[in-house]
Every structure is written in C-alpha cells, then in structure tokens.
Amino acid sequence: MMKIGFIGLGIMGTPMAKNLLKAGYELVAYDINQSSIDNIVLSGAKAGGSIKKLASICDVIITMLPNSPDVKDVVCGEGGVLEGAKAGTIIVDMSSIAPLVSQEIEKECAKKDVKMIDAPVSGGEPKAIDGTLSIMVGGDKEVFETVKPLLLSVGASAVYCGNIGAGNITKLANQIIVAVNIAAVSEGFMLARKAGVDPALVFDAIKGGLAGSTVMNAKGPMMLENNFKPGFKVDLHIKDLNNVLDTGHSVGSPLPLTTIVMEMMQALHAKGCGQEDHSSLAKHYADLTGTSIGI
C-alpha cells in the first residue's frame, strides 16, 4: 500500500488524516503546530520531521492548507515538497485555492516529473469526521484513477472535473451556491420571525419541498438554536469568495449575488464573528432587524 504524506492538520486535515489511518494507509504527517502532530501520532501516524524529509519518503503527498500562498510555499518554497520529492511522486492538493495558482504549482511540479492534482473538498468538519466529503478533482485523469481509492477513504464521492484547476473551479462554484443559500435561508427565516411565524415550523414545512437543501438541513437548525460553533468559518468563506471574485473577473463571469453575500460576511468579520460558522449570516439579519431568528 502507498505511503502517504499529509501536510496540514487543521480543523479539516486532522479528521481526514485519521480516516486514512483507519483505512490502513501508512501515514507520515507534518504541521507547523507541534500539538497537531502529537495528536495524529497518537492515532498511529509517524511525524514527518520536516516537509522536505516527508516528501522524500512518501509516494503520495496530500496538502490541506488555508490558501494559495501557503500551498505554493509548502510545495515550491525553500525546504518544500519539491526539494525532497522523487520523480513520480503524486501531490494531491485538497486545499481550496485559486485555480490559476493550482496551474502555476503544477507547472513547477512537472519540471521535476512530480505529478499534481487539485482535489478540494466540500462538507465541512462534520463530513471530514464521518469520511463523507464531496471531492472535486482536476488534473491528469490517470493520476486521479491512481489515487481515487485513497480519496474515497476520506470522501463519499470523488468526481473528475477536468484539467488541473478544474477541481478548484468546481469548489468555487460550490462556495457561491453555499453562501447564497445560507443567506437565503437567513432571509426567509427572518421574514417568518418578523411576521410572527415560528421559523422552526417554517423549516419543518418547507424542507421536503423545492426549497429544501443540504445547506438548509445543516445550517437551519444552527440558526434556530443560535449555535454558531464553526464547522466552516466565516473567514474561510471570505477567503474562498475572494478567490471567486478574482477568478470571475478574470474570465468575465458576472457575480452580483456573490458580491452581496461577500459584503455581508465582511460586516460579520468586522464585528468579530470571523471565527464563527458561516451560518452566522443569520446574525447579519439580526443586526438589521434587532431580532434574532433563534430562540
């Protein structure tokens, strides 16, 4: 079985790494936070020591990092993956980053005969824990097929979307739809609350109809309970929407709804809610009305 290197043991990376261990993979892990490494070592992983050392002993290297500059530095920077990786190594970047950056990194990898695919995920912390993430993949299809069993150890689905960068384009589309959906649920629930109808009853009445969605099922109950413990943080969604706006503008795709929701999230960030779950878009409506959706 392939030896897997895993770089980035945050809110998503740690449960993903644990699921790879449960699937029987030999795992070597690295993170800038020593306590995160210690935690995953207790689950059966080996500590990588350094990025370069990890890369030199692993067949497949998974990166799960916050944003484009982090991935570029870890893969291409001094002491990075490419300094240690041997020819034929596969890099699976599961971070959500700008598609153009994925393409730039892949070109650097190709110079050393290292293969790279972009494979961002959707589902947040709960699905990372359950191993039921949705994974969207861009890059060489043969490489995708090679690592697909590995991907299905952390996800319920892994769909090939096209050439390098296509995974992140798909993720950006996903993030638009999720953000606008959360805002719409907040707006609908607030209308009910202000009109004197219990939003919990509205939720029960409409969740099986056309308005029903995975987003509403996951985020609606959080709004009703005023529970904004992060599964996916506002600040991370802001990062993704920045990449949406940059990419959309570069390809000439209009983004009026994304722009509106981005401003709502920026207002939440300014009020100190950036580390809360993105369902706290409900708080934006509470600020506008002086009324909480939840009890």
Residues with active-site annotation: 171
Tokens of 29: 């892990």
State the Cα–Cα distance between residues 52 and 49, nearest whole angstrom. 9
Q: How far apart are CA 207 and CA 198, in angstroms?
A: 14
CB 106 within 8 A of CB 164: yes
Structure tokens at 78: 């001094």
Which residue from 199, 206, 218, 212 is spatially nearest to 292, judged by alpha carbons? 199
Distance separating alpha carbons of residues 223 and 281, to the nearest angstrom? 9
94 close to 64: Cβ distance less than 8 angstroms: yes
What is the SS3 assignment for 21-35? HHCCCEEEEECCCHH
Element (H, E) at 147: helix 141-151
Q: Which amino acid is at 91?
A: I
In this structure, the number of other CB atoms found within 10 A of the CB of residue 288 comes to 12
- Count of alpha carbons within 13 Å of 295, Cβ hemisphere only? 5
CA angle (132 as vertex; 20, 9 as ends), nearest 5: 45
